[in-house]
Chain A
Amino acid sequence: MKVIVADDSRVMRQIVIRTLRQAGYDWWDIEEAEDGAAALTKIRASQPDFVLSDWNMPEMSGIDLLKSLRREGNETPFAFVTSEGSPEMRRQAEAEGALFLIAKPFTADVFRETIDPFIS
C-alpha cells in the first residue's frame, strides 16, 4: 500500500511515520512531502492509496490540497494529522471529504483505532 505523509516539519513526518509503524502499518510504502504543493505533485505522479496530511503548511495548506485533488476528480482517500483539531476544522475536513482528523499529540493506539476501520 502506497501512502504519502505531508507535513512541513521533517521531525513531525518522522514521528508520524514512526507511529504508523508502531501501530502495525510497517508494511506501508511511505513517501514524504514537505508541503501541500509538493504533496500535490507527488500524488499526481505516484497515485498513492492514502494521504495523511498536516493542516497548516506553507505553499499550500492541507485543506487546499484536499480541495485541489477533489476539484480535479482525484478521489484518493485523505485524512488529516494536525496540531489543532477544532470542531470547525473537523467540520470543514468532513465537508471536503476527509476520512478523519487526528489531533496531535497522538499515540499508536489512536492511529490504529482510527485507521483500521477504513483499511478493512
Chain B
Amino acid sequence: MNADATRPTPVPSAFEVRELFEGLLGRAVEWTATSNIVDPIDGATVGAYTNDFGVVKALVLCDIALTARAGSAIALLPQMGAESTIKDGLVTAAQFDNLAEILNVAGSMFNRPHSPHIRLDTTYAPRETLPADVAKWTLVPASRIDGVLTIQGYGEGRISVVVAY
C-alpha cells in the first residue's frame, strides 16, 4: 500500500465505465442507468479486486448478456455466438476469458492518486460459488453504480460496480 493512501477508493462514474468499454471494444457503447442490479444468483461474471493485503475492496459484476456480448465484441467474435450463449445461459471459455481481460483493465477505475492500490485478484464465472468475503458485497445498497451497457452491433447487458466500505 502506498504511504500516502489518504483518500477512499472511488465509485467510478457512468462515464468512466462507458469509456472503459468503448475504448477496449473499439466501438460505440451507451450507458443507461438502472436500479436493476446484477445478482449473481441469475448468473454473472464477478471480478473481485483486492488491496495489497488481499482484502476485497471492490467488485465488478457483469450479467450473462454482457459477458457474452462484450466478451465477443472485444475479439470480433460473431454476434450470433453471443446470442446463443444468452439463449442457453452458458458462456463460452473465450467469452469469459475476454471479459476477464476487460475486468483486469477495469482495475484502473479504482486507482487514483492518494487512494489505496487495488487490483483484480480473481474472476468468478457465472454460477461459480463466491467466497463469503466477495458474496457479502454483491447486493449492498450503497457505494455502487448499476447500469445497462449497449454495445454497437452486439446489444446490451447489465453491469454493477461495487466499492467495499
Known contacts A11-B75, A11-B98: A83-B23 contact under CB 8 Å: no
Known contacts A84-B111, A84-B119, A86-B117: A104-B75 contact under CB 8 Å: no
B117 touches A15 (CB 8 A): no
Known contacts A9-B101, A15-B26, A18-B26: A105-B74 contact under CB 8 Å: no
Q: Smallest CB–CB gap between B80 and chain A, Å?
A: 19
Interface size class, chain A: 20 to 34
Known contacts A11-B74, A11-B75, A14-B75: A106-B23 contact under CB 8 Å: yes
Number of A-B contacts (CB under 8 A): 42
Q: Smallest CB–CB gap between B144 and chain A, Å?
A: 21
Contact with B along A50-73 (1 / 0, CB 8 A): 000000000000000000000000
Contact with B along A25-62 (1 / 0, CB 8 A): 00000000000000000000000000000000000000
**In the complex, A22→B111 CA distance in Å?**
27
**In the complex, A117→B126 CA distance in Å?**
45
Contact with B along A8-23 (1 / 0, CB 8 A): 0111101100110010
Is residue B92 contacting chain A, with contact meaning CB distance below 8 A? Answer: no
Residues of the A chain whose Cβ atoms lie less than 8 Å from the Cβ of B24? 15, 105
Q: Smallest CB–CB gap between A108 and chain B, Å?
A: 9
**11 A-B residue contacts at CB 8 Å?**
A11-B98, A15-B26, A83-B104, A83-B107, A83-B108, A84-B107, A86-B117, A88-B2, A104-B108, A105-B20, A105-B24
